[in-house]
Amino acid sequence: MIVPHKTQCYGDSQDPPEEAIPMCTLRNFPNQIEHCIEWGRDKFNELFVDTPGDLVSYLDNPKLFVAKLKNDSTSSAVVSTLKRISDFIKMKQANSFEACVLLAKNCFNNYYHHTILDLLSIFPKDHVDKEGQPFWSGPKRAPSHIEFDPSNKMHMEFVNSYANLIAAALHIPENRDIASVTGLASGAKADPYVPKKIEVKLPEEEKNNAQPEPQAAAPEDEELIENLLKELEDLQTKVKKDQFTPADFEKDDDQNFHIAFINSAANLRATNYQIANCDFAKTKMIAGKIIPAIATTTAMITGAVTAEIYKFVQGYTEIESVKNGFINLALPLFLFSEPTEVNKIKSKDYDPISMCQTRSIPEGYTIYDKTLVDIGSITIQ
């Protein structure tokens, strides 16, 4: 057995992990593909985990859910959550994959076209700060909007994965035929762009105001909340909570569209900001938090075990030929010794655990031995 020294491993080195990425960087000013992947992972949670999960909680106990939501969130966040729940119920009532594709296309336009135009309306590409320096410089990259093109493979990967994930959450039959989905996306009439004013925090502002003061609810928000609650009271009677299933993120199933959505979402955002795209494997590694071990304890164990496997496949099965290892990389200490024979289970006149006489059949078997009973179907009787 190889006993590793308990060290904290951070990939290829012993450096601690990087600090959390500021939210303003993820939302408006990404400059690395890692920022885009984290943004895509956040969108996956928001769209396919949190929203259907909130809907199930609402249908389970509407009054308790609304009371907790109002207590824990700002008025604008309450409006946003209730609106998403209402939209989900209406999607379920439509119960068509075509509606899922239309929603995916609208989402594409919102993320990669409308929001970018809104951001550039506040900070044009020639905008200068109060010191007279170009605003879009250094880590802040000037974005460009993207027009949806059904012939573009990346665009369709986003729409296809989004539509199928929404369909799975709503228990609507999925459609994995990319040609069929492309046809639906081409014919879907997306919402036109309507300019709107968005609130944008700069990195320095977010740093100076780490804990913003709570804001009082705006009168228009209160009115919206009341209207949404009345709408939901009517809608909730038309659906059941078992008709909705939040996604359970699974990085290792390449057919469930989880990594596919995050990869396409991240690469499209990277294209917005002129950042080099990444492949599927890198997205899976970062979004799935897979930490490679190159020069760490884990790699040392792997090497030692592999050396023993080489002996075994070459026919060296005598106990004198193999070795136990004790490794402590902190000292460093490497000890290899001849292992003892595996414990053989034998008959006993008195076994202290069973508190009676025991008989071993066959005599001297080990925990690694197998007894094959191949006489067809049998029962205890």
Residues 269/30, Cβ–Cβ less than 8 Å: yes
Q: Decide the pairing of beta strands 324-328 and 2-3.
A: parallel
Residues 259/251, Cβ–Cβ less than 8 Å: yes
What is the amino acid identity at position 374?
Answer: D
CA–CA distance, 371 with 267 (Å, rounded to integer): 54
User: Cis (ω within 30 of 0) for the bond into 362?
Assistant: yes
Catalytic pick from 9, 24, 278, 356?
24
- Mark whether 24 is an active-site residue: yes
Give catalytic residue positions: 24
